[in-house]
Amino acid sequence: MAKSKTVFFCKNCGNESPKWIGKCPGCGEWNTYVEETVVTGKDQKLRTTITSNEVVKPISIAEISNTKEERIDLRNQELNRVLGGGLVAGSLILVGGEPGIGKSTLLLQIALRLPQYKILYVSGEESQTQIKMRANRIGIENKNCFILTETDTQEIVRHFKTIQPDIVIIDSIQTLHTPHVEATAGSISQIRETAAEMNKLAKTFQTPIFLIGHITKDGGIAGPKILEHMVDTVVQFEGDRHYGFRILRTIKNRFGSTSELGIFEMQSNGLREISNPSELFLSQREEPVSGVAIASMIEGLRPMLIETQALVSTAAYGTPQRSVTGFDIRRLNMLLAVLEKRAGFRLSSKDVFLNIAGGIRVDDPAIDLAVLASILSSNEDVPISSRIAFAAEVGLSGEIRAVNRIDVRIAEAEKLGFEKIMISKYNLKAIDKSKTKIQIIALASVNDLYNELFA
Ligand code: TYD
Ligand code: MG
């Protein structure tokens, strides 16, 4: 007999409790419990069993053959890179991102570009005609790409067994529904259960499965954190709506590095791979203007040159404004305090606006020096030559600090035709100067920067 009962789930870790509790004993978070209805004691025969015919038994690790991990080349360098060099058999990959960022486009495009593999694209969000329209827009025909509009996991498993695809795409995990749990699609218990079923499917048949997942307002993947533990890889699609480019970041990866980054540009016929990101983040202009400085950055493992733009003006009203895009406002305040205290600039009565060109969000501290240079340049109203790059962190005492992989940053600047690069003097010993033609200027303090630029 099927019986329904109410249970409470932790929104953060998926912990289950028969009654509401304030503090989750699983993860220690407060106020995360929500009520859901589940059905228990259902006829077990209803279950579509996800099993292959092979019997699994324990074997000695020495007997496991050393086959090289096979990876499917997705014919998309950026996605391959983010996954750690291609798609691993049997892996479960969660692709997160805000609505409209391009998750469906990216995965449909991958599916259409791989005619040598049989691909099952399951959509619970769009009709077959809508998907066909998107495919037309991308402009590729592929007979081997099957579109299924279904949300019931039992049906999906049934179709999986008849079609026997090489790759499965689920759009999206929040629309899936398993009859074993009575809650509505998108609820914690549904997400937890359906993701577990998809994982079992991937592992049993060694078929890679992509799960598309929505992102909540605070930036996390909707559903319990446990979802991120269940999958092998989590990648996140980000980007500013107002700019065409999109960034794919690895958050977790059992088969590769998590510091990888893929860059795309949304065009009228789908996403274009950007193999040379610097072209995107440097604005083309002939005459240098004040308030602009270029940083030699590393995002993931890739070097790229990015423009920082500052505008410093006299504050119209009492409290000066500080405003940033693509940069941490607290870090800007810190850098302004350093300028004020260590180099005697009076910026406290000035409005300061800072913008990282292209709207990319930057974490690399090596951008500090370029940020300071652009602020000083705007304040003095003296342009910095667009042939100069910057790469160093700035410390609280106004010292210019060394950054990692300086040789890569210098090489990238040189490759793009920069004539000078300003770095920390503490980075000098890490550099083989005989190999570089670009002029290297080593700085010790913020005052050195000022003198080098304007004295
Ligand atoms: P979509 O893949 O539907 O986003 P998600 O699945 O993450 O919600 O992408 C939607 C946006 O992409 C939509 O605003 C239209 C735009 N787009 C293009 O600019 N070019 C294209 O070729 C396609 C297919 C979509
Ligand atoms: Mg979509």
Q: Which of 171, 188, 185 has the alpha carbon at shortest distance from 226?
A: 188
For ligand 1, say whether the CB of 104 is within 6 Å of any of its atoms. yes
Q: Which H or E run contains 326? A: none
- CA–CA–CA angle 82, 87, 92 (5° rounding): 95
97 Cβ below 6 A of ligand 1: yes
Can you name the CATH fold of 73-275? Answer: Rossmann fold (3.40.50)
CA-nearest residue for atom 23, ligand 1, is: 270
C-alpha distances (whole Å) from 136 to each of 119, 127, 185 are 17, 14, 30
Is 270 close to ligand 1, i.e. is its CB under 6 Å away?
A: yes
- The finding on whether 105 has its CB within 6 A of some atom of ligand 1 is yes
Q: Out of 1.20.1530.20, 2.60.40.1260, 3.30.230.10, 3.30.56.10, which CATH number does the structure's domain 280-454 have?
A: 3.30.230.10
Q: Which helix (H) or strand (E) holds 204?
A: helix 188-205
What separation in Å is there between the alpha carbon of 428 and the centre of ligand 1?
46
Ligand 1, atom 8: closest residue by C-alpha: 100
Return the pLDDT at 114: 95
**Cis check: omega of the bond before 377, within 30 degrees of 0:** no
Q: What is the pLDDT of residue 217?
A: 66
Indicate whether 200 pLDDT > 70.
yes
For residue 254, the CA-to-ligand 1 centroid distance in Å is 29
Tokens found for residue 149: 């509009």
Instruction: Give the pLDDT band (50/70/90) at residue 359.
Output: low
Ligand 2: distance of its center to the CA of 83 in Å? 20
Cβ(266) – ligand 1 distance below 6 Å? yes
pLDDT, residue 44, reads 46
DSSP 395-428: -TTSBEEP-TTHHHHHHHHHHTT-SEEEEEGGGG
pTM of the model: 0.79
Q: How many CB atoms lie within 10 A of CB 321?
A: 12
- Residues 445, 13: Cα–Cα separation, whole Å: 46
Residue found by looking up tokens 């795409």 in the block: 169
Q: Is 22 in the pocket of ligand 1 (CB under 6 A)?
A: no
Which pLDDT value is given to residue 368?
A: 96
What ligand 1 atom has the least distance to the C-alpha of 98? 7
Q: What separation in Å is there between the alpha carbon of 159 and the centre of ligand 1?
A: 27
* 13 secondary structure, DSSP code: T
Pairing between β-strand 261-267 and β-strand 245-253 as defined by DSSP bridges: antiparallel
Q: Is the pLDDT of residue 362 over 90?
A: no
User: Cβ(394) to ligand 1 under 6 A?
Assistant: no
| pLDDT tier at 260, thresholds 50, 70, 90 | confident
* pLDDT level of residue 455 (50, 70, 90 thresholds): confident
DSSP code of 347? -
Contact 422, 370 (CB under 8 A): no
Pocket test for ligand 1, best of 266, 268, 269, 271 (most atoms within 8 A of CB): 266
**Cα 102 to middle of ligand 2, angstroms:** 7
252 Cα–ligand 2 center, Å:
22
In tens, the pLDDT along 204-242 reads 999 999 999 988 766 666 666 778 889 999 998 887 667
Give residue 68's pLDDT band: very low, low, confident or very high (50, 70, 90).
low
Edge-first strand order for the sheet with 270-273 is 145-149, 119-123, 167-171, 209-214, 92-97, 233-238, 245-253, 261-267, 270-273
Chain-centroid distance, C-alpha 8:
31
Tokens linked to 181: 């749990």
233 Cα–ligand 2 center, Å: 19
How do the domains of the chain map onto residue ranges? 3-44, 73-275, 280-454
Residue closest via CA to ligand 1's atom 16 equals: 102
pLDDT at 46 over 50: no
